[in-house]
Structure 1
Amino acid sequence: MHINANTVIFNRTILLVPYGKHHVKKYHTWMQNEEILELTASLPLSIEEEYHMQQTWLNDNDKCTFIILSKELFDQTHDEIKSMIGDVNLFLNDSDDIHCGELEIMIAEVTARRKGYGLETLYTFLRYGKFKFHLFNKLFFLAAIEILHITRFIVKIGLKNLPSIALFTKKFQFQTIETSEVFQEVTMERRVDDEFIKLLQMKTPDYKIDSYDKLNIDRTV
């Protein structure tokens, strides 16, 4: 989506930045890892195909993505590539339910796992949709609860990805609605209610949003 192309979101331990061409090479190395491919149910792509996919993330109105940076690493290095630890995505691809958003999150760097980055990223990403663009245009729904007018979130997780299943079940109260033995994945959902919105507000006290240009870093490929 173009509307988040100049957006950076800050929180206590992470930054979310738009997926740009300069991120593709590192992202491509992640997606050559067999474990990550299995956990994300993805197929390996060539580097050329990866650059093409980056452009679809930028241009398609049914996708919203951010690269996750470790704030600690970024504060130390001021280098986006060295600070990259994963990505978070939202798909609006259910033609039968235009108010349903499918979430995906990947913490690709092994050293960044089990440190709370995934949980904080989800709280931050969901809050971004609820607050950022409500002021921009109440009729132009974009990223999550109030902006895309999302009333139901779903996730599809590989049956072997027990940490992710536990994360969505325990922290966000997602409930299983379908298990596919054929695709070896479970589909879970969380309907939006007042309790869910209050949870996002409570869990993101350090949330801040700003212009990506203000980071003032080298983004050459």
Structure 2
Amino acid sequence: MAEEVKLLKTWSSPFASRVVWALKLKGVQFDPIEEDLSNKSPLLLKYNPVHKKIPVLVHNGKPISESLVILEYVDETWKQYPLLPEDPYERARARFWAKFGDDKVSPSLWSFIIKEGKEQEEAFAQALENLKILEEELKGNKFFGGERIGLADLALGWLAERGCVVEEVVGVKIVEKEKFPLLSAWMKAFLEVPIIKESLPPHEKLVTRIRDIREKFLAAAQPK
């Protein structure tokens, strides 16, 4: 019986992108299934009845949800190109930085995108503090995983993938090379990896999507 791997995703989801990258780095063949989250398919509701969100990896009929959980499952199932180091301490650190990206970096940048005035300034200040922490962690390394891409890099890959998109939409430079030389070099190196480069969402399409989302949030925040 042939192995069956499906990935329920959307083209613009950074959480889905990290799973796509992991599967491709490992050379795993999979069937990408594009979901419309405004009209969720019976398949998505069947395989992720709890959160009803993407991504969902379906391996031989068994669904796995939540992108960081999926990354670990992928790493444990397909041993080629390990995403996590063998050393337990280093594995824990990789998990920590992946979580830091989701819990701290992403929310602060998202607030920066959808806020205005003082709230936006505060979000930007917090985002810069979080980026400084990432800059410090990269000292002596090309990637967060060392000399090649690992789990933490995939988890933080959205920053490289759409950092310039956010800058274009908001009109403010976020990752300045002078302030964040290591982070800037990491973003460049990450995006130059062929498997990553070929799997990026269309730039202009993503700019339009993020801009539309920003405008909707700002319009909703206006006094009635």
Q: Structure 1 length as normaliser, TM-score?
A: 0.29
- The higher-RCO structure (CA 8 Å, 6+ apart) is 1
Report which of the two has the higher share of strand. 1
Q: Which of these two proteins has the greater Rg computed from alpha carbons?
A: 2
Greater helix share, structure number: 2
TM-score computed with the length of structure 2 as normaliser: 0.29
